[in-house]
Amino acid sequence: MLVVENFLSTHEAKDLLRGIDDEPWDSSQSGRRKQNYGPKCNFKKKKLVKGQFSGFPEFSLFVQKKLNAEPSLENYIVIEQCSLEYDPQKGACIDPHIDDCWIWGERVVTVNVLGNSYLTLQPYKGGLNKYNLDLVAEQVETINDEVVIRVPMPERSLIVMYGSARYNWEHSVLREDIKERRVCIAYREFTTLYLEGGEHENEGKEVVDISLKSLNSIIKC
């Protein structure tokens, strides 16, 4: 797992937050609100639909450009961007989980825009039938230690979760760790199944093309 402090400058964070708050919020689970940009995914049926996805909001594209400059995110193509708000007055949190392994690739990215918090990790003790872990069985190991890891998530930082942290540990944001308004952006990439040479390359290509078209629009500016 990688934590990069001061990934965003103070000015960048303020501009990004202004852009986020200018967009409408949707209610989400566990007291959160969200803004989602990306294809529609049915995790149980393993079905991908482009839906209304037409690209990412212009105000946030500079963040993807900064992600591309990180050595650990080489060839990272964003295919989902989700802004999340955690409000302590609503008891906002997120329960322990592993991000789905059928559609989302190894590198799980979070950019913290506003508020300081912690990411809590604990070993996953379940089977391969959950989170579609059977598709990445070679990555899954049994961790017998009863240990909890607390990862600081400072305001304006970048978090990249990969490797063992991605597949062998459930992560959560505890209610007691939300002491102020927290706003972050989660980014996801495709698994190799939906990239060039993958079994579902044709299904993924349309989404990838939309994503790259969005990013290229700012690179050319």
- Residue 221 has what pLDDT? 47
pLDDT for residue 50: 87
pLDDT > 70? residue 48:
yes
pLDDT average, residue stretch 174-202 = 96
* pLDDT for position 190: 97
Question: 2-219: which CATH number, 3.90.650.10, 3.20.20.70, 3.30.56.10, 2.60.120.590?
Answer: 2.60.120.590
Residue 44: per-residue pLDDT: 87
CA distance 22 to 162: 32
Average pLDDT in the chain: 95
For the stretch 129-172, pLDDT in tens is: 999 999 999 999 989 889 999 999 999 999 999 999 999 999 99
Q: Which two tokens stand for residue 72?
A: 């650990």
Whether 175 and 25 have beta carbons less than 8 Å apart is answered as no
Query: Which residue, 122, 167, 175, 173, is CA-closest to 152?
Result: 173
Asked if 85 and 35 count as a contact pair (C-beta separation under 8 A), the reply is no
Query: Taking the mean position of all CA atoms in its chain, how far away is CA 118?
Result: 15
Q: What does the pLDDT average to over 177-202?
A: 96
Count helices and strands (H / E) in the chain. Answer: 4, 13
pLDDT band for 218, please (50, 70, 90 cuts): low
- The answer to whether 204 and 198 have CB atoms below 8 angstroms apart is yes
* Selection from 103, 133, 110 nearest residue 38 by Cα: 103
How many whole angstroms separate alpha carbon 155 and alpha carbon 8?
9
Token digits of residue 15: 């501009």
The fraction of the chain above a pLDDT of 70, given in percent, is 98
Strand order of the sheet with strand 94-97? 94-97, 169-173, 117-123, 149-153
Return the HEC string of 97-141.
ECCCCCCECCCEEEEEEECCEEEEEEECCCCCCCCCHHHHHHHCC
Calpha distance 113→85 (Å, rounded): 10
For the chain, the structural domain boundaries read 2-219
Selected residue with higher pLDDT from 76 and 217: 76
- Whether the pLDDT of residue 219 is over 60: the answer is no
Interval 60-111: pLDDT, tens: 999 999 999 999 999 999 999 999 999 999 999 999 999 999 999 999 999 9
pLDDT at 198 over 70: yes
C-alpha to C-alpha distance for 171 and 187, rounded to whole angstroms: 16
